[in-house]
């Protein structure tokens, strides 16, 4: 079951609210001693998270299906990059990482309990059964109950205050809804979107047409060097035509003096090195949803130019 995006949380007696965790969505199936972990796209995950397999195998009753999110925390903050490190073919590496950066399955729904299917039951009943199940379990670092609340003000407080810990937003769910796989009816997600001021240290041309395709964004690190942290390409065709005159006077500059595009990274592509450097004088404001591993996770949304902002004011500490 999935959620549709919205700008604001719904309100009313039929809604509860849960944190939107920044991890891997996971359905966990237990049949006697056998455990199967399945991603949202239907891919198996069990071999990457042996500590969670062991935790689910130890649950009672013998037959269970739960829905949740696999997360890893580091220094009190969700660490999505550590999750990505698990998707690796070497079993020895996975075993090592399972000890060094153990994962947790945060469970928020119960679909099968014993021989009883709860998928068609309303969420209020499924949640009650889920909480009763966890009340009987010993505390575990590897499988935990995801919190929920009926208080919209508390959910809004989560949005405001828990972003520094890596919370991705809040999900609202209808208490009266059954579990509908693959559907977005009855669930709403509101992501925690933030803004940042960045220096435009370079750009890439579009693959077709010769217009500017994307702006390369940078912020200054503690050593005073300009690090590449991502890109923005959210322009209409008309807006792209206006970018060239703005960028042209700044071509051929120093570009990024710290980490630059094209360096070793899991985000690298064949076109990573194909970029034009600029003098670091242009500043723009962008909207982003998450920052991890020293860069914006996804492409950002260009909001406006900031001629009132000095490039040196665009530092890493503004980004959470």
Residues tagged active-site: 20
The answer to whether the CB of 28 falls within 8 A of the CB of 110 is no
CA distance 121 to 127: 10
What is the residue whose two structure tokens read 């090195």? 273
* Sequence-distant (≥ 6) Cβ neighbours of residue 113 within 8 angstroms: 61, 63, 64, 129, 133
In the chain, which ranges are continuous DSSP H helix?
Answer: 50-57, 80-86, 91-100, 123-135, 152-161, 237-247
Going from the C-alpha of 203 to that of each of 232, 274, 311, 313, the distances in angstroms are 9, 9, 16, 21
Six-digit token pair at 307? Answer: 């001629």
DSSP-based three-state secondary structure for 2: coil
* Residue 160, phi then psi, degrees to nearest 5: -75, -40
The rounded Cα 73 to chain-centroid distance in angstroms is 13
**Do strands 187-191 and 194-205 pair parallel, antiparallel, or not at all (unpaired)?**
unpaired
């Amino acid at each position: 079951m999935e959620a549709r995006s919205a700008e604001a949380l719904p309100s009313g007696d039929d809604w509860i609210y849960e944190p939107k965790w920044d991890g891997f969505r996971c359905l966990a199936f237990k049949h006697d001693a056998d455990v199967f972990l399945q991603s949202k796209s239907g891919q198996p995950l069990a071999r990457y998270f042996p500590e969670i397999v062991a935790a689910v195998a130890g649950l009672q009753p013998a037959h269970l299906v739960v829905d949740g999110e696999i997360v890893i925390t580091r220094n009190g903050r969700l660490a999505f990059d550590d999750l990505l490190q698990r998707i690796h073919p070497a079993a020895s590496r996975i075993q090592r990482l399972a000890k060094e950066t153990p994962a947790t399955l945060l469970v928020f729904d119960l679909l099968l309990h014993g021989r009883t299917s709860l998928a068609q039951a309303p969420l209020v009943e499924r949640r009650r059964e889920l909480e009763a199940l966890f009340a009987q379990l010993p505390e575990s670092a590897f499988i935990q109950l995801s919190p929920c609340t009926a208080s919209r003000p508390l959910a809004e407080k989560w949005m405001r205050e828990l972003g520094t810990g890596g919370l991705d937003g809040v999900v609202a769910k209808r208490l009266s809804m059954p579990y509908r796989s693959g559907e977005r009816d009855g669930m709403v997600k509101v992501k925690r979107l933030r803004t940042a001021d960045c220096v435009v240290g370079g750009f890439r041309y579009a693959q077709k047409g010769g217009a500017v395709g994307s702006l390369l964004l940078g912020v200054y690190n503690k050593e005073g060097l300009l690090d590449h942290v991502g890109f923005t390409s959210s322009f209409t065709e008309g807006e792209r035509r206006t970018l060239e005159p703005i960028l042209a006077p700044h071509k051929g500059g120093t570009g990024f003096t710290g980490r630059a595009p094209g360096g070793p990274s899991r985000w690298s592509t064949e076109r990573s090195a194909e970029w034009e450097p600029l003098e670091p004088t242009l500043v723009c404001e962008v909207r982003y949803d998450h920052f991890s591993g020293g860069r914006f996770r996804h492409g950002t949304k260009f909001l406006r130019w900031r001629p009132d902002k000095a490039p040196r004011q665009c530092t890493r500490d503004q980004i959470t």
